[in-house]
């Protein structure tokens, strides 16, 4: 499958701090990639490099372009939402649509208008007069009206209530994602995008800890909740993490056959959040 983003030994240092440390990965066309990492892990720096907002060392290619040096061309095929509050507060909705229509070659004004029809957003309203949720709706309507190959979302639902967050992702999947487009998304609310993602990438201290397709996770990882003898026997298979819950041991395994663990306790596939915590803790140990 064709790669939209190819990173080979990409690094970005700020003085002695290695924000991104020699990472290599590919993002293929038609994927929804979740980039998960704690604060200061290097997510935003990596996204900035992908968006051409910062220069970096190594080979980074996005849609076949050097993102930093060919940013204008790149932006014709990439959209991004960095945060819900970035739309200029002084601008009117109509002006915003006019501006994007006159500067973006892949923007469909009629599509944006159609998407806004289902909202309560008035064309003559200023952005500052809209609620936070409406600002997100507006931003999303603009983004979804752009025929882009790659959509980058950095904490797009930060500060929104649960209804708007659900609506945001529902619209994204229902009206935008068509299997041809690619989405790269970071969020702290991993649970919300867990069912959305086709692929996941963990990053910590500037290094990639995991890159896998969501489909492959059950084959590689298993979570066992066990007590007493079962837990003791399971420990012999070398869990990558262990915690306690209601007096039982919660053990997380990597590349251990489920057949070996069957019968020792309740077996399941770990959530992305649990897997992330295990990987980060493992990396720090």
Residues that bind other proteins (CB under 8 A): 14, 44, 48, 51, 53-55, 71-76, 79-83, 85-92, 95, 98-100, 102-105, 139
Minimum distance from CB of 110 to other proteins (Å)? 19
**Taking the complex as a whole, how short is the minimal distance between the CB of residue 87 and other proteins, in angstroms?**
6
Q: How far is the CB of 207 from other proteins (least distance, A)?
A: 20
Question: Rounded to an integer, what distance in angstroms lies between the CA atom of residue 212 and that of residue 201?
Answer: 7
Q: How far is the CB of 189 from other proteins (least distance, A)?
A: 20
CB of 91 to other proteins, least distance (A): 7
Question: Could you tell me which of 250, 245, 283 has the C-alpha nearest to residue 265?
Answer: 250
- Are 127 and 85 within 8 A, CB to CB? no
Please say which residue, 48 or 181, places its beta carbon nearer to other proteins. 48
| Nearer to other proteins among residue 47 and residue 224 (C-beta) | 47
* Comparison of 44 and 157: residue with beta carbon closer to other proteins: 44
- Give 43 or 165: the residue with its C-beta nearer to other proteins: 43
Kindly tell me which of 84 and 264 has the beta carbon lying closer to other proteins.
84
Q: C-alpha distances in angstroms, 251 versus 148, 204, 238, 246, 257?
A: 42, 22, 9, 13, 14
Whether residue 146 contacts residue 75, with contact meaning beta carbons closer than 8 Å, is answered with no
CA–CA separation, 128 vs 261, rounded Å? 56
CB closer to other proteins, 87 vs 261: 87
Phi-psi region of 141 (alpha: psi -120 to 50; beta: other; left: phi over 0): alpha
Nearest approach, Cβ of 115 to other proteins (angstroms)?
Answer: 17
CB contact set of 13 (below 8 Å; sequence gap of 6+): 19, 57
**Residues 44/145, Cβ–Cβ less than 8 Å:** no
CB 76, min distance to other proteins, A:
5
Q: How far is the CB of 201 from other proteins (least distance, A)?
A: 20
CA quadruple 125, 127, 133, 139: dihedral positive or negative? Answer: positive
Q: What is the number of alpha carbons within 13 Å of residue 175 lying toward its C-beta? A: 20
Alpha-carbon torsion, ordered 252, 258, 259, 260, to 10 deg: -20
Q: Which lies closer to other proteins via its Cβ, residue 130 or residue 226?
A: 130
**Smaller CB separation from other proteins, 131 or 257:** 131
* C-alpha span between 112 and 175 (Å, rounded): 11
């Amino acid at each position: 499958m064709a790669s939209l983003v190819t990173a080979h030994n990409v690094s970005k240092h700020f003085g002695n701090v290695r924000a991104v440390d020699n990472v290599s990965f590919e993002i293929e066309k038609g994927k929804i990639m979740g980039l998960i990492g704690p604060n200061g892990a290097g997510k935003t720096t990596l996204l900035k490099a992908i968006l051409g907002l910062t220069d970096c060392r190594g080979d980074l290619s996005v849609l076949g372009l050097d993102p930093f040096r060919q940013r204008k061309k790149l932006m014709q095929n990439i959209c991004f939402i960095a945060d819900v509050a970035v739309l200029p507060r002084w601008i009117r909705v109509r002006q915003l649509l006019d501006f994007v229509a006159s500067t973006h070659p892949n923007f469909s004004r009629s599509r944006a208008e159609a998407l806004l029809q289902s909202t309560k957003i008035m064309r003559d309203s200023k952005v500052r007069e809209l609620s936070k949720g409406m600002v997100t709706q507006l931003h999303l309507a603009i983004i979804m009206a752009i025929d882009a190959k790659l959509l980058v979302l950095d904490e797009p639902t930060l500060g929104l209530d649960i209804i708007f967050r659900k609506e945001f992702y529902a619209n994204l999947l229902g009206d935008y994602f068509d299997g041809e487009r690619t989405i790269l998304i970071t969020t702290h609310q991993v649970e919300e995008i867990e069912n959305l993602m086709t692929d996941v990438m963990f990053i910590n201290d500037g290094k990639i800890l995991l890159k896998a397709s969501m489909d492959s996770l059950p084959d590689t990882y298993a979570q066992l909740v066990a007590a007493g003898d079962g837990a003791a026997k399971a420990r012999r298979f070398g869990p990558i993490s262990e915690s306690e819950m209601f007096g039982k041991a919660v053990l997380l395994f990597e590349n251990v056959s489920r057949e070996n663990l069957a019968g020792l306790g309740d077996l399941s596939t770990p959530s992305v959040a649990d897997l992330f915590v295990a990987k980060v803790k493992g990396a720090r140990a």
